Amino acid sequence: MTLILSPAAGRDTRVPIERAVVDRVAASRPRETYLVVRFERADGRASVHHAWTDGGEVLGARIDAVATARGMDGLDWLAVTARHEETSVEGRMVVTEYRLRAVLADVEAGRGALPDERRDLTDALAAYCDTTGRAVAIGAWCRVGPAAVDATP
């Protein structure tokens, strides 16, 4: 079974079509995979759909619980997910997928951001914050389970 979370359709007739495409993409991916599917539009906007292949929904929630219990933060999330990220582009559709078993292995082993990665990411964040006038703040683990979408405003 695949779980797909999509933006509300409202008057946008593209959403049901995009959802069908996401379902097809998810059906072609391995079990326990988290997918972020972005449809880029000619006007520069995009719609984003999240999907978990069979077993991915439960495994993603487990990863989030373990990472949170270990005190992993947003920098750890960036480093861990980047290690296991695969991105493909088909026309205006960008598919980013994460093999959750590999993510779980890193989280359970406590393999978050390495010291050099943590420093580089913090420096990049500080440079960005300098341009926006915001204070540097490292957020919590960003999640790979369905709660990631539920927490999105």
Ordered DSSP codes for 73-95: BHHHHHHHHHHTEEEEEETTEEE
Who's near 136: CB < 8 A, 6+ residues apart?
A: 122, 125, 126, 129
User: What is the pLDDT of the chain when averaged over all its residues?
Assistant: 90
Q: Which token pair is 142?
A: 């960003």
Give 78's Cβ-side CA count (13 Å radius): 16
CA dihedral over 41, 92, 52, 20, signed as positive or negative? positive
Q: Which token pair is 116?
A: 């050099």
Higher local confidence (pLDDT), 145 or 149:
145
pLDDT at 153: 44
- pTM to 2 decimal places: 0.85
Supply φ then ψ for residue 146, to 5 degrees: -55, -25
What number is the average pLDDT over the span 116-141?
92
Domain extent listing, the chain: 3-150
Quick: pLDDT tens for 108-119: 999 999 999 999
Among residues 52, 42, 45, the alpha carbon closest in space to that of 6 is found at 52
